[in-house]
Amino acid sequence: MFDPCDTTQLRQNVKAWHDEMTAHIRSNDPFNHCVSSSMGSIVGDFNSKLHHTLFTNLDFVKQHLYGNIQKAKSKEQMTYLLLLEEDTGHTAYPAKPFHMEEFGFGSKGPKPQEKDPYGFDVHNTLWASMFSSAMGPGSHWWWYYLSSNRLFKYYKPLLTFCSNLPIPSDSFRPFTTGSVVNDKWLVFPNNIQTYYMKNATEDTIYGWCQDTAFAYQSLRWLTDSVRFQNQPNPTHTNWYHFIDSMVFDPGGYVYTMNEAKKPGPSSNNNTIALPISNQPVGTKYSIKWYDSETGLFCGSSSDRPVQIDGSGNKFLSFQFPSSIRDYRHNTVTNTFGDVVFVIHLMSSEQPHHEDKQ
């Protein structure tokens, strides 16, 4: 007799059903389609254990992720969570492709168009998840929001960028330059958030970096604080949380893209440093930059050597393009304060088509 309280038995039943349906589909599909299943959050013991067995006989791994976007500047920002969840999927199924088939704001509180009408978080999360080493960028769930706010255009730059690249090998793994502080803040050097993936030999690195002033959470944080100055207790520890029933400062950049409200550079240092472990000191790399709003080539630099710090750690150092983030003149020239990069060993540099439109 089935006991609904027996979670072990329930997981086994779910797994057995999927195995049976998978076998049935494969035996009756003359076109040999890939087979998978929809899996929600893996938070919690039951879901976590189910996730680690469910996709054993399926062709690729899928998951959903709805971040707590109301917590400004927390480690729960969507870009970081996508990287962590992709890494979880790879650890559980190292030989299978992984895809975040649903992501977006949670269902509680204001609708997405009220929180982020110009899709800052959509743009940022698509580019960050592009370099999570998943089988593609995450799929945003709120399609009516994308359609009504004309945000599907954010997918085209990714397609344009990818059309200039060779297919990456399956040895790529995802990384970020951020570190979690006090189990709360995700902090990036020089206030430049960087998400990237590199292969095992470190001859190729693909990535995206952005001034953190343009992260959705930072834009909301700045916008919300204007309204909170009039609240009874603005110094309360939860002052940075978004209150579901309110919309703050409708004249802010996140709501209007008003150039007068656009953030300037959030630090006076454009240096980005990526750890390097499998190449000797002095090894030289070239860097190519791509516009995040078009996906097109926009500049390059070369002869960037692997260096070593005082602790013996090797790293590759380069500069965020000043043409986009110019701290000397306190200007950021593009809408999202970000740029995409491709890094190759100079001796093994792959061809690219910088004139492709």
Query: Highest mean pLDDT range out of 79-93, 254-268, 322-336?
Result: 322-336
Q: Cα–Cα distance between 132 and 138 in angstroms, integer?
A: 9
Lowest-pLDDT range of 56-65, 185-194, 224-233: 224-233
142 and 177 Cβ atoms separated by less than 8 Å = no
Q: Cα–Cα distance between 276 and 196 in angstroms, integer?
A: 13
Q: Cα–Cα distance between 301 and 288 in angstroms, integer?
A: 7
327 and 270 Cβ atoms separated by less than 8 Å = yes
Q: Which residues face 300 on adjacent strands?
A: 288
Statement: residue 53 has pLDDT above 70:
yes
Query: Highest mean pLDDT range out of 100-104, 236-240, 248-252?
Result: 100-104
Residue 247 is predicted with a pLDDT of 45
pTM, to two decimals: 0.85
Please give the C-alpha separations between residue 151 and each of 126, 214, 292, 293, in angstroms, as whole numbers: 12, 17, 14, 12
Q: How many residues does the chain have?
A: 357
Count of C-beta atoms within a 10 Å radius of residue 302: 12
Q: Compute φ and ψ for 213, nearest 5 degrees.
A: -65, -20
Instruction: Enumerate the domain spans of the chain.
Output: 60-218+262-348
Mean predicted confidence (pLDDT) in 194-223: 87
Q: Cα–Cα distance between 218 and 210 in angstroms, integer?
A: 12
Q: Per residue in 250-280, pLDDT tens? A: 678 888 899 998 999 999 999 999 999 999 9
Mark 49-73 as b/e (b = at least 16 C-beta within 10 Å): ebbeebbeebebbbbbbbbebbbbb
Residue 3 is predicted with a pLDDT of 57
135 and 105 Cβ atoms separated by less than 8 Å = no
Residue 204 is predicted with a pLDDT of 94
H/E stretch holding 89 reads helix 78-92
